[in-house]
Each structure stands twice: as structure tokens, then as C-alpha cells.
A and B are shown apart, each in its own frame.
Chain A
Amino acid sequence: MNRHLLSAADLSVEDALRVLDTAEEMSRVADAPVRKLPTLRGRTVVNLFFEDSTRTRISFEAAAKRLSADVINFSAKGSSVSKGESLKDTALTLEAMGADAVVIRHSASGAPHRLAHAGWLHGSVINAGDGTHEHPTQALLDSFTMRRHLRNGKGDLAGVRVAIVGDVLHSRVARSNVLLLATLGASVTLVAPPTLLPVGVEKWPCSISYDLDSVITKVDVVMALRVQLERMSDAFFPSAREYSRRFGLDTVRLARLPDGAIVMHPGPMNRGLEISAEAADGLRSVIVEQVANGVSVRMAVLYLLLAGAPLTDIDYKTLGPS
């Protein structure tokens, strides 16, 4: 694996499977009486969050702590960043403090890439969501969740049909998912109004549809993306109600899903807009599991990047009481 995780494209199929398989092992820690491994003892993981994201930060924090790493949370608010300190100076500060890994969330696409490659610091950089670019650990946890439900937690996702519905243009989750799902052999259809698909999307390894109803009967996974209401004022769609009618995962569409299909959402949800309460809370929904799986997947990523050793080096005895 690379030293950094900046894009889902960084992962070969072997890398991706290694993360997913490792995450399966890590998930056992959550079920153990002592939810901790000593693996990253003495290592420092910095959560560098320039954008509010309580759920992602907490997930990374839990993952690092379960691996016994020291965790420093550095958020833009209440730090020197809000006083105009540059990304470079922040990076130099973290370098001076000896960060082994920096988990970065930033509103600017490519900020993690700069952090990793501008020569400012030497630790591993993990992209926890950058602008409208990528969110690779979200894609990993989504694939992990799909694999558990559709492939018994083993192997790749060959033949799995996934619809990703909504604001693809602004979605880092969609970009990472398209790349990773293609790597794992799934077939992806992006469903959105043409205004919310980027120019150039036709080159992506997926198909495109403007019509959710024609897609929904032929998928194993439907993933609704968060739609921000302020997009309306930029004329991406006329109204919330029209969006909901054409692209919302409502009760009628839920009923048309094939047997065994699952409903996903990266959160936070706009209930009643892109997803109805019935879809979000129904039996097909795996949305809460996605959150739980996020910790396992992030443990696996931190472990593989920092410990850098194959999984067999884990002392499995520590997984449970010895």
C-alpha cells in the first residue's frame, strides 16, 4: 500500500481487499470485552479538521484509540487556523510535534494531496474528505458494508449492482465510491439530474441515468447522497419537492427494490428530501451499520499505513481476554 490514502484510486484491488479483510478482523475488537489493541502504542495520530464533521472525526478518533495511538484533535475552530494560519504552517507545526499520521478534512479539494506531497511533513496523510474531491475511507466502509450483506464479508464485489443517487457533482463520497467499486468489480450507476453530474463524468468507470425509476428495480444497493438545500438557489434543481419526487428514495421506490437489496446513506440525512423515513429506518436500511463499520475500516487503514506490516503480525491473543 502507499504511505498515504488520498484517493480511492490509490488502492489496487489487492490493497482494497487487504483493508476490507483487515477491517473484518478489527471489527472483532469492537465485540471483545476490552476494545483495544496495543498495535499503535506510542504513535501519534492527528485529526486535522478544517471543516466541521463530528461523525467522521469521532470515527477516526475511536479507531485510533482502539489501536492505542495517541490522538490529537486539531480543529479549525478555536485554533490558530481561524486566525489565518496557513495550511503549510499548520503542517510544519504538526511535523514538529512528531505526527505519525495526519487525518485531514478540508474544504479545498486536493488539500490532503498538498499536505502529503508539498514537503511540509513526513507522516502518513489520510484524506477524511476534501472539498468535492474524495472521501476514500467512506468508500471503504461502504464497500465493507456491501460485502457483509451481499458477499458474506469475503472477496470482491464482482457483479454487485450499485445505484448512487443525488448530488454527484459536489459529492466526494460519490467520487471515491465510483473508483473503489470499479476496482472491486461492482457495476455502478450514477442517478442524478444532469445539473448535478460533472462535465466529464462520462469518462468515469460507471453508467449514468437521469431516471431513478428505471434503475431501482435492477440494483442490489441504492445509496442516496445528501442534497444540500442551498443548491436550489444556484438553480441546480427547481425545488425540494420536485427533487424528492424525481430522485427521492420514497416508500413506492423502496417497494420496487429487488429482494435482498440494501439502502445506504453516508449521512447526515435530509429525511423527506433525498430519503424518506421509511427508507432510512426500514429493514433494508444499513445506515446505522455504516457508522459502526466506519470505525473498523478506519482502524484497518491506520493499522496498514502505520504498522505497515501484514495482518499476520497482529497478536490475535489481544483480541480477546487471554
Chain B
Amino acid sequence: MSGYLLRGIRCLGGEPVDMHLENGVIAEISEPSKKLRVTGAKTVQGDGLIALPGLVDLHTHLREPGREDAETVDSGTRAAALGGYTAVHAMANTDPVADTAGVVEQVWRLGKEAGFCDVFPVGAVTVGLRGERLAELGAMADSAARVRIFSDDGKCVSDPILMRRALEYVKSFGGVIAQHAQEPRLTEGAQMNEGDVSAVLGLRGWPAVAEEAIIARDVLLAEHVGSKLHVCHVSTAGSVEILRWAKSRGIAVTAEVTPHHLLLTDEMARSYNPLYKVNPPLRTARDIDSLRLALAEGVIDAVATDHAPHSIEDKDCEWQAAAFGMLGLQNALSVVQSTMVDTKLLTWADVAARMSTTPARIGQVANHGRPLSAGEPANITLYDPSITRLVSEKELVSKSRNTPYLGMTLPGQVIATFLRGSPTVLAGELIR
């Protein structure tokens, strides 16, 4: 047994090379003409496949502990591996909430046991996500889980004093606050983007300003206290403008966008099908254009899935009664190809930056998002962009079924995922 030999792969979409993975690292890369020979290595024919550093998700809901009916660490990381991910950040809104060292360590251990990708727990900013007092951020940072991202995701840290203190406090261990930007009073009972479509459908509107007002406040707070802010799932054109301004001022803010906000508009709500009910809501075509450009320019730093599994009963109901959220891990790369690469907005090297290198840097996770060169950790995704496929339920390995892409034709498929040199996915199928 002498590792894997990947033949003819195109690193970041470049010229074909052969790559040998051994002992968890990239042992050697050479031109195909040199006919790299490794005795005992398993060969993967990679002609035409794009090689990317294993994808890193900044925003995943694994639901365990508490809602194991919707997803578990095991099932969620399987979906992640099939989507080309080698690391995910597990959001804190579990039950119990990941607001203590004990819970984050439990999630971290479950990730280790599952073994399909590395799981980095996100810690809650406030106790029970209640927005009243700070959780023990230091204890979570010092725990075995080594938490660096803190977020009340699902809820906004709306109290400005609490947000200020959180931004200040995490400086001592280099943490970052990932804000779910949603002004609560402006979004009471809100169901979908406020605009032409909500007016017709009679669904309570969710104004863009409810997101933008919080982002504006938070970038100013981050500047004032000299701390780092990360903005979760940016969804509006106005948010992009604020981020652009903040970055031009040198404020330490990073931001993510979800695949679904790059692809789907609020027009989908006309079906009243809760598959399209998500927080933040799907916006307009104009917002999509801004988000795509911002991601291309780097105003938005990363793509993050906000993979949010929900049980059938939480989605097979009337819109108002349904839960917010949609699956994201398994189709993220295909959506990014469709919206960003096929549209010439990003190169594959840019995709590697937005979906691996930069998220790894924001999450401060070692050994992920590294260059594809000899001696680096063998966390690698092989992707075939030439495939066109119809998204169907049977390919979903998540415990939930709430993907908005069902029935859509998407480009590309993850063919193989290697975590520290071992395949979690080969020939498009999970290993083990």
C-alpha cells in the first residue's frame, strides 16, 4: 500500500499533472510525460478533472446534538464529503446550544469519529443564543475543539453593547464574531424578501434594510474596537455596498455568500413551496447580480453553504408554518460552477480561494486550504465540470430532503475527495 496516484488531474484548472499522495501529504507532482511510477499505489484516472484543495465550509448546520432526526454529524459530513468538502464549521444552534466547552468538544469528537471530514465547531456568542450575556468564549477557545469562530447564527446579536463586548473579548485569543445580520424588530414574523413578490403573495416582508442596518453597525463597531467581524450569508446588494465601503476603510471584515443566494430569487416563493423558505430570504435578480460581482471582486470573501437540514414535517406544510433553511453541501460546487465559473466571473483558482483557502484562513484551521504542492496535506477535491446532471432525491445522503435544487439540471460533479490522503469519495461514491 503506497498511497494514491492521481493521473492527469488539472490543479486549479491548469495543465494536466500526475500527483502522488502518500502518508497524508502530497508526495510528488510531475508532468504526465515523465510517467510517474509508484509501486503499489492505487491509480485514479483523473483526465479532465479539476483538482482543488479540499473545500472548507464556514457555515454548516449538523443538527447534532438535539435534532438527529434531521441530520447527524455522521450524515452531514457524508454529504460534505460528497460535495467535495474536507472541513466544515458546525454552527452552534444545536440543542443543547454549543455555548460551553463541553458541547463544542462533543461535536468535535463526533466529527473525529465520523471521519468523513474535519468538523470545527462554532461556539455560541451568548448563552443559549438568547442574546442576554456572553457565553464562555474563552473556555471554548481553549477546549480541545479550539473554537475560533463564534456565532449566534439563526439569531442576530442585536444588542449593540453585547456585540461590542463580544468583538472586544475575542481579541484576546484571536477569535472572530460571525454575525447573522437580521434586525429583529424589522423582521418580526417575516416570511420572505419584502418587495414586489411579497406584496402579491401576502407574505410578511423581510426588508433588505434589516440586514444592511446590522452590517453597517457592526463594521463600525469592529473598526471602533479594532476587532474582526465576519458577516454570514450576505444576501442584498446594499450589504455589498456597505462591505465594499468598510473594506476600503481597512476594517477587518470578511463576508460569505451562500450558493442559493447566488442562484435563486424570491420569484420561487410564488409556488408557496417551503423548500424556498430560507433565512435570510431569497432576494431579487438585482441582488444576485451584485452578490456574484462582489464574490468575483473579493468584496465577499467566501462561499459558505448554510447547509440547513430540516425534517419532512418541518417542510411539508404551509409556508408560514415551515422552518427556514435548505440543504447546501452536496451541490454547492455545482452551483458555484453554474453561477460563477460558467459565467466567466471566477477561474478555478478563484474558486479554490473562495471555497477553500479563504474560509480556512477565516476559520483559522490548519492543514486545510493549502496550496496543491509537494509536502502539503493531501486534502484534495477532484471535480468533473463537464458532467451535466439532474438533481434527484436519491443522490442525497443527508438525513433530510429539503434541497431547492431538486429537478434542476446542474453542471459538474465531485468525483473524488481525499482527506489527509485517504479517499472519502471515489468515483462519485462515498468510501466506507
* Nearest neighbor of B320 in chain A, beta-carbon distance: A108
Q: Which of A118, A133, A200, A204 contacts B195 (CB 8 A)?
A: A200
B342 within 8 A of A: no
**Do residues B196 and A203 form an inter-chain contact, with CB atoms below 8 A?**
yes
Residues of B with C-beta under 8 A to A2 = none
A117 to B273, CA, bound (A): 9
Interface-side segment among B199-207, B351-359, B406-414: B199-207
Q: Return B324 CB to nearest CB of chain A, in Å.
A: 15
Q: Which of A86, A109, A203 contacts B202 (CB 8 A)?
A: A109
Q: Which of B196, B202, B271 contacts A117 (CB 8 A)?
A: B271
A204-B199 contact in complex given A87-B317, A109-B320, C-beta closer than 8 Å: yes
What number of residue pairs across chains A and B have CB atoms under 8 A from each other? 77
Binary contact track B183-206/A, C-beta < 8 Å → 1, others 0: 000000001001111111111110
A133-B201 contact in complex given A87-B321, A88-B316, A88-B317, C-beta closer than 8 Å: yes
A250 within 8 A of B: no
Residues of B with C-beta under 8 A to A87 = 317-318, 321
A320 within 8 A of B: no
Q: Which of B199, B201, B316 contacts A201 (CB 8 A)?
A: B199
B4 within 8 A of A: no
Q: Return B298 CB to nearest CB of chain A, in Å.
A: 32
Q: Return B146 CB to nearest CB of chain A, in Å.
A: 42
**Do residues A110 and B203 form an inter-chain contact, with CB atoms below 8 A?**
yes
A114 within 8 A of B: yes
Binary contact track A79-90/B, C-beta < 8 Å → 1, others 0: 000000011100
B348 within 8 A of A: no
Residues of A with C-beta under 8 A to B272 = 109-110, 113-114, 117
A107 to B191, CA, bound (A): 14
Residues of A with C-beta under 8 A to B321 = 86-87, 108
A201 to B92, CA, bound (A): 39
Residue of B207, B271, B272, B273 with most chain A CB atoms under a 10 A cut-off: B272
**Do residues B205 and A109 form an inter-chain contact, with CB atoms below 8 A?**
no
Binary contact track A182-211/B, C-beta < 8 Å → 1, others 0: 000000000000000011110110000000
A29 to B199, CA, bound (A): 38
A86-B313 contact in complex given A109-B319, A199-B194, A199-B205, C-beta closer than 8 Å: yes
Residues of B with C-beta under 8 A to A172 = 202
A111 to B202, CA, bound (A): 11
Residues of B with C-beta under 8 A to A110 = 201-203, 272, 318-320
Q: How many residues of B contact A (CB 8 A)?
A: 24
A175-B313 contact in complex given A87-B321, A114-B319, A198-B205, C-beta closer than 8 Å: no
Residues of B with C-beta under 8 A to A198 = 198-199, 205
**Do residues B201 and A109 form an inter-chain contact, with CB atoms below 8 A?**
yes
**Do residues B197 and A114 form an inter-chain contact, with CB atoms below 8 A?**
no
Q: Return A199 CB to nearest CB of chain B, in Å.
A: 5
* Nearest neighbor of B207 in chain A, beta-carbon distance: A199
Residues of B with C-beta under 8 A to A88 = 316-317
A114-B318 contact in complex given A199-B194, A199-B207, A200-B196, C-beta closer than 8 Å: yes
Residues of B with C-beta under 8 A to A117 = 271-272
A130 within 8 A of B: yes
Residues of A with C-beta under 8 A to B317 = 86-88, 114
Residues of A with C-beta under 8 A to B199 = 198-201, 203-204
A133 to B270, CA, bound (A): 12
Q: Which of B301-360 contact A (CB under 8 A)?
A: 313, 316-321
**Do residues B318 and A106 form an inter-chain contact, with CB atoms below 8 A?**
yes
Binary contact track A97-124/B, C-beta < 8 Å → 1, others 0: 0000000001111110110011000000
Residues of A with C-beta under 8 A to B200 = 175, 200, 204
A134 to B204, CA, bound (A): 14
A149 to B321, CA, bound (A): 42
Residues of B with C-beta under 8 A to A132 = 202-204
Binary contact track A59-93/B, C-beta < 8 Å → 1, others 0: 00000000000000000000000000011100000
A131-B320 contact in complex given A109-B201, A175-B202, A200-B194, C-beta closer than 8 Å: yes
A297 to B315, CA, bound (A): 35
**Do residues A200 and B197 form an inter-chain contact, with CB atoms below 8 A?**
yes
Q: Return A320 CB to nearest CB of chain B, in Å.
A: 42
Q: Return B179 CB to nearest CB of chain A, in Å.
A: 25
Binary contact track A127-148/B, C-beta < 8 Å → 1, others 0: 0001111100000000000000
Q: Which of A106, A114, A200 contacts B198 (CB 8 A)?
A: A200
Binary contact track A32-73/B, C-beta < 8 Å → 1, others 0: 000000000000000000000000000000000000000000
A87 to B322, CA, bound (A): 11
A109 to B269, CA, bound (A): 11
Residue of B197, B200, B207, B313 with most chain A CB atoms under a 10 A cut-off: B200
Given A86-B317, A198-B205, A200-B205; 12 other pairs, CB 8 A cutoff: A86-B313, A106-B318, A108-B321, A109-B319, A117-B272, A131-B320, A132-B202, A133-B202, A172-B202, A199-B198, A200-B198, A203-B199
27 A-B pairs (CB sep. < 8 Å): A86-B313, A87-B318, A88-B317, A108-B318, A109-B201, A109-B202, A109-B319, A110-B319, A110-B320, A111-B318, A111-B320, A114-B272, A114-B317, A117-B272, A130-B202, A131-B320, A132-B203, A133-B203, A198-B198, A199-B195, A199-B198, A199-B199, A200-B194, A200-B196, A200-B199, A200-B205, A203-B196
| Chain B residues engaging chain A, CB cutoff 8 angstroms | 191, 194-205, 207, 271-273, 313, 316-321
